[in-house]
């Protein structure tokens, strides 16, 4: 979502006459878009600020100015604290306030911190993108009401907010006209998307399943994905879409976090292991082509060896196509950060290493099962090598193909011949 927000902020600034630069020395403004989800990501801000303030000081010596701006979830959570910790920061904008930046730069007042919680104003202030990229992100929903006990999102992105269907549709149409063939619908909780439309004088609720159907009718749009969904919000209508909507890709990111019911309860996840496993079974039954990825947290306060083994058992049962796994990081203000039964770093490190080696093994096995198969690949751009193009399969696996003709933006059948690490080399199938 930060990637999407950065693009949107860039569009807004370009509309207001600014130009993007990759060179700090010539920049008048430096913007850091930050993540608060784990401590490591969050602390990165302060080391980056240290480096940036030196640029600012050097510019000052030669009579030039530089504005340093912090946005994103650290800005929302820490506000004034950032200004106190680093005096060279000029403004702090939370994720729901970044649209105000061009106006504040023009008519600066005395306020330095903007951390409004309402998304509505932001979405109506965004500028249509001029991007010609083949695969684009579109935020459809922000915030979260689930309050998992480890997670900072409800405190930084705020309450659940669903963007209007009209607004999303208009953005999708613009992106497809500009050349997009694939849209990934984004949100902290996309499966709880809900927005009203008036049809034949009556109010109708549009959910994620309806949105997938509406967007799939856009001519020229070939692929739809969504990210991230909570297992308890996946309804039968959405499953129905996975069965009949050929534009909806057969790959689902479905975070479980832990395989232990005891830990899931402490995490306030609202689902248990058997609910999760039966959901996976149900989805595979309606579409056997479906593959899954997940998120895992190891070393949650109080996690025993037995709890950890139960996570590994779920991994063995599902055999995810790919997954993310993280060491538990206590986040300020979250209920689990107040616990006192923290797990030893060494134990968490060992558990994470063990889990990741199994997840990686499964990912490789999943990929190897595609060797010599022909799959549809959507090419998004050039690779690093001469005449090389890069694309993705329906299951998001990267594929490299050599071709003297441009493949960019094309959806073509490719025979997957070789697997290096996690990406394939293939040949166009004739
Ligand atoms: N809404 C999504 C997740 C969003 S956050 C969901 O419900 O699953 C992305 C991932 O970061 C989470 O799935 C979780 O695995 C990880 N994460 C969140 N808070 C964390 C913390 N305090 N420590 C470690 N990992 C965390
Ligand atoms: Fe965080 Fe996801 Fe839980 Fe919401 S559902 S609190 S975003 S982990």
- pTM comes to 0.95
Alpha helices in 271-377 (DSSP H): 273-286, 305-318, 345-368
Show Cβ contacts of residue 386 under 8 Å, excluding neighbours closer than 6 positions. none
Residues 6+ positions from 411 with CB-CB distance below 8 Å: 181, 222, 376, 377, 378, 379
Select from 103, 71, 75 the least CA-distant residue to 5: 71
Question: Is residue 66 a contact partner of residue 53, using CB atoms and an 8 Å limit?
Answer: no
Residue 73 CA to ligand 2 center (angstroms) comes to: 14
In our burial notation (b when 16+ CB lie closer than 10 A, e otherwise), range 218-257 reads beebbbbbbbbbbbebbeeebbebbeebebbbbbbbbbbb
CB 377 within 8 A of CB 411: yes
Cα separation, 227 vs 249, in Å, equals 12
User: Per-residue pLDDT for the chain (430 aa), expressed as one digit of tens each?
Assistant: 999 999 999 999 999 999 999 887 789 999 999 999 999 888 899 999 999 999 999 999 999 999 999 999 999 999 999 999 999 999 999 999 999 999 888 887 778 999 887 777 888 888 888 899 999 999 999 999 999 999 999 999 999 999 999 999 999 999 999 999 999 999 999 999 999 999 889 999 999 999 999 999 999 999 999 999 999 999 999 999 999 999 999 999 999 999 999 999 999 999 999 999 999 999 999 999 999 999 999 999 999 999 999 999 999 999 999 999 999 999 999 999 998 899 999 999 999 999 999 999 999 999 999 999 999 999 999 999 999 999 999 999 999 999 999 999 999 999 999 999 889 999 999 7
The alpha carbon of 151 and the centre of ligand 1 are apart by a number of angstroms equal to: 6
How far is C-alpha 72 from the chain's CA centre?
A: 14
* 157 touches ligand 2 (CB under 6 Å): no
- Neighbouring C-beta atoms of residue 141, cutoff 10 Å: 27
Cα–Cα distance measured from residue 315 to residue 321, given in angstroms and rounded to the nearest whole number: 10
- Smallest CA-to-CA distance from 86 within 48, 130, 134 is with 48
Shortest CA distance to 2 belongs to which of 199, 231, 212, 157?
157
Is the minimum distance from the CB of 146 to ligand 2 under 6 angstroms?
yes
Torsion of CA 303, 307, 312, 318, to 10 degrees: -110
Crossing angle (nearest 10°) for helices 345-368 and 305-318: 10
Give DSSP secondary structure letters for 114-153. E-----HHHHHH--------SEEEEE-EE--S---TT--H
Ligand 1 pocket at CB < 6 A: 37-38, 150-151, 153, 188-189, 228, 230, 255, 257, 295, 297, 326, 328-329, 331
Tell me the CA–centroid distance for residue 390 and ligand 2, in Å: 32
Q: Quick check: helix, strand or coil at residue 184? A: strand
Give the residue among 269, 279, 355, 341 at the shortest CA–CA distance from 313: 355
Atom of ligand 1 nearest to the CA of 327: 24
Please give the helix or strand (H or E) that residue 39 lies within, else none: helix 39-61
Distance 118 CA to ligand 2 centre (A): 18
- Delineate the domains of the chain, giving CATH numbers in brackets: 2-116 (3.40.50), 121-368 (3.80.30.20), 374-428 (2.40.50.140)
Q: Contact at 8 Å (CB) between 8 and 46?
A: no
DSSP H or E stretch at residue 74: helix 73-78
Least distant ligand from the CA of 328: 1
How many whole angstroms from 293 Cα to the centroid of ligand 2?
16
Kindly list the strands in the beta sheet with 91-93, ordered across the sheet, starting from the edge strand earlier in the chain. Answer: 29-34, 67-72, 91-93, 113-114
Choose which residue among 295, 332, 336 to substitute to test ligand 1 binding: the one with the highest number of ligand atoms within 8 A of its C-beta: 295
């Amino acid at each position: 979502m930060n990637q999407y927000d950065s693009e949107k902020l860039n569009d807004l600034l370009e509309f207001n006459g600014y130009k993007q630069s990759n060179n700090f020395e010539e920049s008048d403004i430096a913007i850091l878009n930050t993540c608060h989800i784990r401590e490591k990501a969050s602390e990165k801000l302060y080391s980056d600020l240290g480096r940036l303030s030196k640029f600012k000081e050097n510019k000052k010596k030669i009579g030039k100015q530089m504005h340093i701006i912090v946005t994103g979830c650290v800005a929302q959570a820490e506000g004034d604290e950032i200004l106190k910790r680093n005096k060279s920061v000029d403004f702090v904008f939370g994720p729901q306030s970044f649209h105000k930046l061009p106006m504040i730069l023009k008519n600066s007042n005395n306020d330095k911190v903007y951390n409004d919680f309402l998304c509505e104003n932001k979405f109506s202030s965004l500028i249509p993108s001029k991007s010609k990229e083949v695969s684009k992100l579109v935020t459809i929903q922000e915030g979260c009401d689930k309050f998992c006990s480890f997670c900072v999102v409800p405190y930084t992105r705020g309450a659940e907010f669903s963007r209007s269907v009209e607004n999303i549709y208009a953005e999708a149409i613009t992106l497809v006209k500009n050349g997009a063939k694939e849209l990934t619908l984004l949100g902290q909780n996309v499966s709880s998307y809900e927005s009203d439309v008036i049809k034949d004088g009556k109010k109708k609720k549009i959910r994620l399943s309806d949105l997938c159907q509406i967007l799939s009718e856009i001519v020229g749009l070939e692929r739809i994905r969504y990210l991230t969904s909570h297992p308890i919000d996946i309804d039968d209508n959405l499953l129905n879409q996975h069965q009949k909507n050929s534009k909806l890709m057969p790959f689902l990111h479905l975070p479980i976090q832990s395989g232990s019911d005891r830990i899931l309860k402490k995490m306030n996840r609202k689902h248990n292991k058997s609910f999760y496993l039966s959901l996976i079974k149900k989805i595979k039954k309606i579409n056997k082509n479906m593959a899954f990825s997940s998120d895992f947290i190891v070393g949650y306060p109080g996690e025993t060896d037995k709890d950890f083994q139960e996570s590994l058992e779920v991994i063995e049962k599902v055999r995810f196509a790919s997954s993310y796994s993280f060491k538990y990081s206590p986040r300020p203000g979250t209920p689990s950060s107040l616990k006192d039964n923290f797990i030893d770093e060494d134990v968490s490190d060992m558990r994470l290493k063990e889990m990741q080696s199994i997840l990686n093994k499964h990912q490789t096995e999943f990929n190897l099962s595609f060797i010599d198969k022909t799959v549809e690949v959507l090419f998004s751009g050039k690779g690093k090598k001469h005449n090389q193009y890069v694309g993705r399969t329906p299951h998001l696996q990267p594929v490299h193909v050599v071709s003297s003709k441009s493949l960019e933006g094309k959806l073509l059948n490719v025979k997957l011949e070789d697997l290096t690490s996690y990406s394939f080399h293939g040949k166009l199938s004739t």
